[in-house]
Amino acid sequence: MLYIDFEAATEAEAVQLALDSLGLTRDDITYEVLEKEKKGLFGLGKSQKAKVRIFYKEKSELNHLIEKVKTLLLMLEPAAKIEVNTSEDNKYVISVESEESSHLIGRGGKNLQAIQNVVNAMLQKNQNKYKILIDIDRYYARKEKSVIEQAVAAAEKVRQFKKPIFLQPMNPFERRLVHMELKKMNGIFTESEGSGTIKKIRISWQGEGAARPEEDLQKEPG
């Protein structure tokens, strides 16, 4: 049995917030009132919000993993709206909408990457079965467009001047986008350089009709 705490102005609102956030129905949960709402004396002074503990059952292995990730996200931002979408190859995108998205994402996506690292650690035993990507306020959709545009512009310069260009350091998600996109450009070769998770990509000119090695793309995680 899993549980998570929610706060709202009233008990009913706290329960509804939990149902909306977790994507569950009233039949899926039980709850315990931790703190009852209180109003200030004669309508003055500070009022106290209601706090409830929501209990919900574990489902399948995948659902259990997703629920654990959602619980983690709600601990970081209780008011977040969370939606789970399925893509190809057992890849699941957990989309988060929040008024505090800038704090969750962090500068240059550092906080989001840290959250993703925690999720990856949670999935370690199931890495070959499932992939779960956390996307906050369509950050990756916006980032994907920006990364691809920059990579294509750099590749055009490489094609024109026949000199290699290094892109700024990127995480595995961003590097894979670049490798996949520039693979479409004849004569352009990409290679990741560096150690650790964050690496640079070297774009070089191999000549029209040159075969593009597949090795580096296969190394990049999805």
Are 138 and 95 a contacting pair, CB within 8 Å? yes
In this structure, the number of other CB atoms found within 10 A of the CB of residue 76 comes to 14
Q: What is the mean pLDDT of each run of 10 residues along the chain (222 residues)?
A: 87 91 82 88 72 79 77 86 76 85 87 88 69 87 90 96 94 90 94 90 85 50 43
Query: What is the Cα–Cα distance from 72 to 29, expressed in whole angstroms?
Result: 18
Query: What is the Cα–Cα distance from 137 to 122, expressed in whole angstroms?
Result: 22
Are 137 and 101 a contacting pair, CB within 8 Å? yes
**Bridge partner residues of 220 (DSSP):** none
Note the pLDDT of residue 211.
56
pTM above 0.75, yes or no: no
Q: Which residue has the tokens 């959250």?
A: 115
Note the pLDDT of residue 89.
64
Note the pLDDT of residue 43.
59
Note the pLDDT of residue 12.
94
DSSP 109-164: GHHHHHHHHHHHHHTGGGTTT-EEEEEETTHHHHHHHHHHHHHHHHHHHHHHH---
